[in-house]
Amino acid sequence: GRDEAVRYEPLQEGMNSLAFKRIGKVEWDKYLYSVILVPGFGPEQEGVALDPIAARRCDSAAKKYISGVAPFIVVSGGHVHPNKTSYCEAVEMKKYLVTVLKIPDNAVLIEPYARHTTTNLRNLNRMIFDFKIPEKKKVIIVTDESQSRYILGNMAKTAIRDLGYLPYENLIKISETESTYLPNKLSLQANPFDTLDP
């Protein structure tokens, strides 16, 4: 009875339709990065739509977007916390970016399936390849210090354990809250052991 792994298909439509239509018109050479990735953070409290930590990550990403380094923000996170929640991290983060922070709707893409930091990256990579976003242009991850340390540290072990590969190449620390990487095409592999991730 759980359809979280397909609920938002096709991803080119729905909340992504305006941004997806804009992808083919972007002059990519004007930008340092392809997208700004914001990993989600799900609230543990029942009935809370957006965790304050996720909102702060969005605040940082909005500043980065306004600085002009990338044409899109991608918010990533599924229906994770609490168990069987009706709230999707990516959906709630996009609502916050567009309605509160006034980032244009056509500049924010949702990746509504990820359930862990490793799948934040993997699922974004799939969107990059599927949506014809330049794969040779780096992604910048904007988050908080704690998750950034994890991304640059123990995430590699988790990715090998859970995915069997690293979903990134050339992972580089930019600041205490930012890192960059290039997508790994191995991300296109389906994972038959994880029924809640696509």
Nearest CA-CA partner of 196 in 81, 104, 110, 93 = 81
Mean pLDDT of 162-176: 97
**What's the mean pLDDT when you consider all of the chain?**
96
pLDDT for the residue numbered 195? 80
The per-residue pLDDT for range 58-102, each reduced to its tens digit, is: 999 999 999 999 999 999 999 999 988 999 999 999 999 999 999
Helix axes 155-162, 117-130, angle to 10 degrees: 70
Give tens-digit pLDDT for 113-136: 999 999 999 999 999 999 999 999
DSSP-derived letter for residue 138 is: P
Residue type, 25: K
